[in-house]
Amino acid sequence: KQEVTQIPAALSVPEGENLVLNCSFTDSAIYNLQWFRQDPGKGLTSLLLIQSSQREQTSGRLNASLDKSSGRSTLYIAASQPGDSATYLCAVRSRGGTSYGKLTFGQGTILTVHP
Amino acid sequence: DAGVTQSPTHLIKTRGQQVTLRCSPKSGHDTVSWYQQALGQGPQFIFQYYEEEERQRGNFPDRFSGHQFPNYSSELNVNALLLGDSALYLCASSGDRSIGGYTFGSGTRLTVV
């Protein structure tokens, strides 16, 4: 059974800091890993999708890395801004068996960036 | 290009009632999944539909059922509502059953009183 853990559970930083969010998963048999952002009471916005054959993806100030063999991914946010405040969720799409195609989510990291 | 559309946005039901939530996938997507997200938790997989059939199911009771229509839209039905069913219900669509990313809707907030 795939399990996804995100550390830290919450993070509060001053504006301008570079920060790292961590995600770990127990089963390396994945198709891909996706990072999402969720604003309070809202749906999920996809930030980055990394296929299992890739090592990293970048979009603007965001960079996500994937080490499938060790079951880890990190989301790096450069020069954080108050508008980055949200919950960040990591999800893996598992291969094969009964887990085919579904996403397994971590609990999320609540990020607060204060001016 | 419209993304994933869910309706209604909010719903209040009484314990024991039945509810139907609706989802239209992103244009070009043929696979629809439903997730339940309790406050402060990550989303939990309910089930996935492809070619109008339930292909995969999470650890949810039979009170949770669904349907996919020929136009790929989907419904989630919950019978005999419990207070614990109060949550944000998210619909996600994908155009590739293996390697594609998922696009999520804004969700339906269900409150059971």
pLDDT confidence of residue A1: 86
pLDDT confidence of residue A97: 58
pLDDT confidence of residue A64: 97
Best to test chain B binding among A35, A50, A103, A107 (most B CBs inside 10 Å): A103
* Interchain pair B42, A49: CB under 8 A: no
Q: Which residues in chain A come in under a pLDDT of 50? A: none
Query: Which residues in chain B are contacts of A4 at CB distance < 8 A?
Result: 42
Q: How far is A2 from chain B (nearest CA, A)?
A: 12
pLDDT confidence of residue B27: 92
pLDDT confidence of residue A107: 96
Q: What is the pLDDT of residues B94-111, one digit of tens each?
A: 886 656 789 999 999 999
pLDDT confidence of residue A104: 94
pLDDT confidence of residue A33: 95
Cα angle, residue B61 at apex, residues B60 and B65 outer, rounded to 5°:
85
Looking at per-residue pLDDT, the higher value among B55 and B79 belongs to B79
pLDDT confidence of residue A102: 86
* Interchain pair B45, A42: CB under 8 A: no
pLDDT confidence of residue B98: 58
CA A92/CA B82 separation, integer angstroms:
29
Taking residues B83-88, report their average pLDDT.
97
Q: How far is A84 from chain B (nearest CA, A)?
A: 18
Give, rounded to a whole angstrom, the gap between the first and last alpha carbons of chain A. Answer: 41
Tokens standing for residue A26: 């127990």
The chain B residues in contact with chain A (CB within 8 A) are 4, 6, 31, 33, 35, 40-45, 48, 55-56, 58, 88, 90, 92, 94, 97-99, 101-107, 109
pLDDT confidence of residue A101: 76
CA A92/CA A40 separation, integer angstroms:
22
b/e string for A9-42 if b means 16 or more Cβ within 10 A? eebebeeeeebebebbbebbebbbbbbbbbeeee
Residue A108 Cα distances to A60, B30, B55, angstroms: 21, 28, 27
pLDDT confidence of residue A98: 54
* Interchain pair A43, B55: CB under 8 A: no
In 3D, which of B6, B70, B12, B1 has the Cα closest to residue B35? B6
Backbone angles phi and psi of B85, in degrees to 5: -80, -5
* Interchain pair B101, A44: CB under 8 A: no
Tokens standing for residue A98: 């009964």
Taking residues B70-86, report their average pLDDT.
97
A107 touches chain B (CB under 8 A): yes
CA B18/CA B14 separation, integer angstroms:
9
Query: Which residues in chain B are contacts of A49 at CB distance < 8 A?
Result: 101
Query: Which residues in chain B are contacts of A7 at CB distance < 8 A?
Result: none
pLDDT confidence of residue B1: 58
